[in-house]
Amino acid sequence: MLVSKFNEDNVNQIFEKFKGFNIRLEFIYPIKNDFYSKKYVNLMYDKSKDFVKPSLCSFEKFSKYNNCYKNVLAVSCDGLLYPCIMSRKLCLGSIKDFNLCEALINSENEGYPFLCRNKIEGCKTCHKRYGCLDCRALEMSATEDNVYGMNFCALLKGYRHE
Ligand code: SF4
């Protein structure tokens, strides 16, 4: 369910009505728009909703790889390649100009799958880093296109966003 200022008062009612279904909340985030839900803004900064239970498997993955960019590649309808469907500012080239392997070899892509939390300032010393999911595209939007940026974490900011 996508939460915005237009439906924020219906969230509880919808949860109640569809009890038993696996409803996940997604948000319009407060980045250059006025449509986000002020009522739910603390939840957007609450990373605990994105924590996975640490295990050997999650340690193996999160200590080396980015939770999204690992094993993912997006191709737009016009043939442009991206590390994921949301990361439209990280174009890796076009399959019209190169074949897929060439486009990947000649691009920045080699680094993106390895953009783990150990490379992000603030996260690299956080005890939650091997079980915390994030969205680089979202963080880029909030940090002037910094692929290493981190904005949506109350733990890191040390306060709750009001
Ligand atoms: S500092 Fe980084 S790793 Fe730690 S909870 Fe926040 S986003 Fe997750």
In a domain, 27, yes or no: yes
SS3 call for 19: coil
Q: What is the pLDDT confidence band of residue 160, given thresholds at 50, 70 and 90?
A: very low
| Minimum-distance ligand 1 atom for the alpha carbon of 153 | 6
Is 26 among the domain residues?
yes
Burial class of residue 49 (count of CB atoms within 10 Å of its CB; 0-12, 13-18, 19+)? exposed
Which range marks the domain in which residue 19 is found?
1-45
* CB-ligand 1 contact for 138 (6 Å cutoff): no
CA angle at 27 for the pair 11 and 24, rounded to the nearest 5°: 60
Average pLDDT, stretch 100-122?
Answer: 85
- Is 20 part of any domain? yes
**Residue 86, domain member (yes or no):** no
Residue of the CA atom closest to atom 2 of ligand 1: 123
Count of CA atoms in the C-beta half-sphere (13 A) of 67: 18
* Count of structural domains within the chain: 1
Instruction: Report strand pairing: 80-82 vs 74-75.
Output: antiparallel
Is the minimum distance from the CB of 129 to ligand 1 under 6 angstroms? yes
Return all residues near 118 (Cβ < 8 A) that are at least 6 apart: 63, 124, 129
- Cα of 97 to ligand 1 centre, how many Å? 38
β-pair partners for 94: 80
CA 59 – CA 65 distance, rounded (Å): 10
Over residues 15-73, the pLDDT tens digits come to: 899 989 988 899 999 988 899 999 999 999 998 888 988 889 889 999 999 999 988 88
**CA 74-79-81 angle, 5° bins:** 35
Which residues partner with 132 through β-bridges? Answer: 51
Question: Residue 4: inside a domain, yes or no?
Answer: yes
Q: Does the beta carbon of 135 lie inside 6 Å of ligand 1?
A: no
pTM of the model: 0.85
Does the beta carbon of 136 sit less than 6 angstroms from any atom of ligand 1? no
Q: Tell me which DSSP letter residue 123 carries.
A: G
Q: Is residue 16 part of a domain?
A: yes
Say if 3 falls within a structural domain: yes
Position 162 in a domain = no
